[in-house]
Structure 1
Amino acid sequence: MTHSFANAAHAGTFTIGGDLAIHRLGFGAMRITGPGIWGPPADHDEAIRTLRRLRNLGVEQIDLWQLHRIDPKVPADEQFDAVRSFIDQKLIRHAGLSEVSVDDIKAASKFFDVATVQNRYNLVDRTSEDVLDYCTAQNIGFIPWFPLAAGDLAKPGSILDIMAGKYGAHPSQIALAWILKRSPVMLPIPGTSKVAHLEQNVAAASITLSDEDFAALDSEGRKAFQSTP
């Protein structure tokens, strides 16, 4: 069951790079911007209210910086070496990668310790399943982007809808609870520009799915992924 007091601490913690402890559930700020992740938001005042529900950074060193795409026009080793230099200069504390394969992670690891990986992953998109498994085995934080997508599984009468009723929650909260239970290295950062949605997402950390319900959701999610054209 959900609790009226939303606290990200309920999601548990993960230690990035062996020395940076964080809550496993974070906030994605992309929806704070306008259409196409650019320009002012549709509701400026609500976006400001949402941001004021978080803490200011105010740091001289970025704790975690991620190479969000490996540029195919530039040798990968050159990019990894540049990231290494950022760490040596103490501009960043830890470095991660985004939209990468297991081989990419292994290649980058020759230059720096890969602290996190950010790939698209959710209940119905299992393209990065092998990457997640590798990250779990290596204790690398896995940040799934687009974590709440559920396709047809979110429709009325679907398994997510049924589970939501069982747990007294919203379908999106069940999808997020499933994400958190999937792996101890999972670090979802669902985004929103609305305070109500922010608090709803955080409250999902209080939901503990039974092993049976997790398995049922996992099975339906895999079926939906395999049937995707």
Structure 2
Amino acid sequence: MSSAPRGTDTTFALGGTLTVPRLGFGAMQLPGPVGGPARSPVESAVVARRAVELGALHIDTAAFYFSAGGVRANDILRRALHPYPEGLSIATKVGPIRNEDGEMVGEADPGQLRAAVRQNLKDLDLDALDLVYLRVGRLSGSNGAPLGDRFAALARLRDEGLIRHLGVSNVTGAQLAEARAIAPVAAVQNRYGVLDQDDDALVDTCAAAGIAFVPFFALGGSGGSLSDAALRKVAERHGATAHQVAIAWGLARSPAVVQIPGTASLAHLEENMASARISLTEEDMALLAA
């Protein structure tokens, strides 16, 4: 595994033109856990505003992030942050179709993708979206199916000015290549982290091509246990938590990695954002190698 300069690259030029911090914020947890009870939109709005105050000027969201009772991440972000501060970029994902009962019931066809983009624009009160990912495979692993027709539909929306940059999510290397043959890809969002390093080669492919790699489940999630012995040892060295080391590891792993840890807790948010101050050593990285 290659190693990157520690703590020197704090931003990434998304698509070569949009500068984003390499430590942003994921909005998935703001409405409440998927399939669980809703959180207070007022309290979640406080978290969103604090994230921006702390410098998380790249926010990742989706219209299908909602909890019981119709509490939606996009609504929380709009009410908390609009008019959006200068320098803030918002990324969203389209593809999975989730019904009002919370079930993932399908994947959007090209026409439905256009409607989904317009819904995000309306919900966020934006004229154009900074970054839109085509998410494939619903919320499970990538199925490796061709994505050309669907990605081309998003490329047409970019040509119309409704999208500034395109991304793909939950993809294989072959799917990324297919998308890049249609239109420039600015970012890949895949499951990846210190406890789940299967996408190492794809991270390096993205770095070489100037494509951001934006992990989900970077803090473990369903990818593994943060009680991992090596992770605990490195955390103790730095007087940090395992969560913080997991975030710092991604930032050290490659200058193309943009982290978007999500939380609905102010305390966890402060902890996550402090991860940028952790400078992992070569010894740390070797210990954490898969």
Question: In the alignment, is the contact (CA less than 8 A) between 2:30 and 2:44 conserved in 1?
Answer: yes
The aligned counterpart of 1:67 is 134
Q: Say yes or no: does 1:184 pair with 2:184.
A: no
Relative to the length of structure 2, the TM-score reads: 0.66
Rounded to whole Å, the distance in 2 between the matches of 1:37 and 1:135 is: 33
Asked if the contact 2:16–2:210 (Cα under 8 Å) also holds between the matched residues in 1, the reply is: no
- The aligned length equals 207
Structure 2: distance between partners of 1:140 and 1:152: 29
CA contact (8 A) 1:136 1:185 kept: yes
Q: Is the 8 A contact 2:226 2:243 kept in 1?
A: no
For residue 16 of structure 2, what is the aligned residue in structure 1? 18
Q: Deviations over 1:76-118 (max 9, x none)?
A: 2211220110111000000000011111111111211000000
Counterpart residue number, 1:107: 178
Structure 2: 5+ residue stretches without partners:
1-6, 53-80, 85-124
Q: Partners of 2:208 and 2:224 in 1: how far apart?
A: 29
Structure 2 match to 1:50? 47
Where 1:135 maps in the other structure, the secondary structure is: helix
The CA deviation string for residues 42-80 of structure 1, in whole angstroms up to 9 with x for no partner, is x444322202213544642111111111687x9622112
Matched letter for residue 30 of structure 1: M
Equivalent residue number for residue 29 of structure 2:
31
Deviation of the 1:153 alpha carbon = 5.1
Ranges in structure 1 where 5+ consecutive residues have no aligned partner: 1-8, 223-229
Alignment of 1:136-155 (within 5 A): 136-149=207-220, 151-152=224-225, 154=227
Tell me which amino acid in the other structure corresponds to 1:130: A
In 2, Cα distance between equivalents of 1:52 and 1:91: 25
Q: Does residue 1:216 correspond to 2:271, yes or no?
A: no
**Partner Cα distance (1:11, 1:169) in 2:** 21
Letter in 1 for 2:269: L
In 2, Cα distance between the equivalents of 1:37 and 1:12?
35
Residues 114-153 of structure 1 correspond to what in structure 2 (within 5 A)? 114-149=185-220, 151-152=224-225
RMSD (CA atoms): 2.3
Q: 8 Å contact 1:10–1:206 — kept in the other structure?
A: no
The one-letter amino acid of 1:29's match is A
Distance 1:166 1:76, change over 3 A: closer
* Distance in structure 1 (CA, Å) of the matches to 2:195 and 2:147: 30
> CA separation in 2, counterparts of 1:142 and 1:126?
13
1:78 and 2:149 are equivalent in the alignment: yes
Paired residue type of 2:32: G
Task: Output the amino acid matched with 1:67.
Answer: L
Q: Which amino acid aligns with 1:151?
A: G
Native 8 Å contact 1:70 1:79 kept in 2: no
Q: Which residue of 2 aligns with 1:174?
A: 245
* Other structure's SS at 2:186 match: strand
Task: State percent identity of aligned pairs.
Answer: 38
Kindly indicate whether structure 1 or structure 2 has the higher relative contact order, using CA contacts under 8 Å at least 6 residues apart. Answer: 1
The structure whose residues are more often helix, as a share, is 1
The 8 Å contact of residues 120 and 146 in structure 1, kept in 2 or not, is answered as yes
